[in-house]
Chain A
């Protein structure tokens, strides 16, 4: 044990933000050591230095100091390693002369600086409903959850991950609802995972995933607080990580990615209709251009005569086979999307108009593509973004390319083959060990209440059975008097 830790620290942390200062109070000399970049200077000035200066008590040793300082996280220590580890996490190390082999560690970390304080959930916007989203600060996120799920069963399990980042990773679940098997699986997988820096919770998503080679997202990832709450109360396990505004949650099924929180804020008839539109949009988005390629390359006899005319007319000047034509446009659209995501908002809008309108019209007029294909491609690009979860939208944008290739090679047969491979892939996928295609396969008829359609709340009072929740009932449905039945009562 070194006699003079004060000097040792200077040599150990050779960084310029290490601040060491000495204060003389009466006859006492007090040494402060801290990392300037991570501490809250005001806290040191007001709550530590000021208290010591104005204290009437006799400050003989560090234990006497504890009584003076009104901060909770304090600890006396003489272990250099421990002190160093605390210093770089925002602790203040206070020593009183002449005991320079010992000192008091006080937590004065400023961990909120630089983070956004609020988030409008811009990437998962909904017109109706709360717009609060998660932010980068983990404590704020936990606060958002704890504040609105008032239950003693809401559990946070904290782990430190990342050898360099020392990120706090929190498993959240509702005890007594969530199946403990899923919690165990998540716990196990997070314990097994090794990181240097946890940049975002989607990194954890990819490491604890059941199949890292799948283009499909296996966990819901959301920045909306209401959606995260809904996942938790239906019996899923959520994982939050420090510095990430996204919550990942599982086990999720492929249908979860097409449900929007807004569905529950609209009347069920509308919500079901919109949900069906979404599924149609996805099918259209994946299959429209492959169908175009297949039909124009091999099966033109499938098109009725009246429709064949306009198609031939629009394609008469196009010098390319349908495959090249489609790839040209699809890749252009994808480039526009990629550029649009990177560009600042205002430039992006302009570029969208230039790319979408000018390029499209010019391409048709130059005879590079047919105008019908422009319609097909732009519609399928549009419909790929109807999915409420962005990760799924990306998957759907990707999926069409293998289908286009298969369609160009073997027409409708190729599309069917692609479909079979896709089905086979989806059937194999599992999220935390639960099949991904639930409730479609394995077929669970009672869970259809909230899948393709969003049934009225009187029918969704049970949790999804495929999540195997410990408590099935969410709320009680009271038998209501029929409010609309005037005819029988008049």
Chain B
């Protein structure tokens, strides 16, 4: 039994440790089942604390505002899904790598989007076909897919290569957006899955950072995120990704793993 770490356990259950202390405790708990049992006991006391506060009935406009925000987001998701091909052309091969399907779908959305805006139908369809062949026939990794995302030339669509920071040099990504629109697609790879209690959070940065959503990567460190913003994407100067506590933060507080100018 490590008496120093044991002293931290009550504060671990109260979620009042520094990041370093929390990592220390979690490493200890992973190796000491008897300590996990003690934490569980303390946790049953700590988990009662939120209930000590009297409930306060919120005004109706808070729920109304939330529902408006959620409805707009749900509609944006539906529009996105409607653009993604639903019937795979090569059956079983697609099921073998779900992420590859998402990546291809996302790339297709980006291309269809550009198609609707600038009429470059033929050229973009060639790019779709090219990506399709690359993904399905060659089983390439997402890194490869990102490197082959369409470059949109003279169209209004921008495709920004995301730059990793020194803390995660393997991170590689692309942000595809119409600067005048309020949504964008972010494709990322090379980010390691995080410990429980942590999440990646995407930020659009103008005068101040604005949360653009939480990012969960798969076991290969890959993810696709459709970003919706209250402001046009072009009104922001930069995009970044940081590591935050579970549920995200109101502003970046943790390690910055990706930061690029738009």
* A and B co-occur in one complex: no
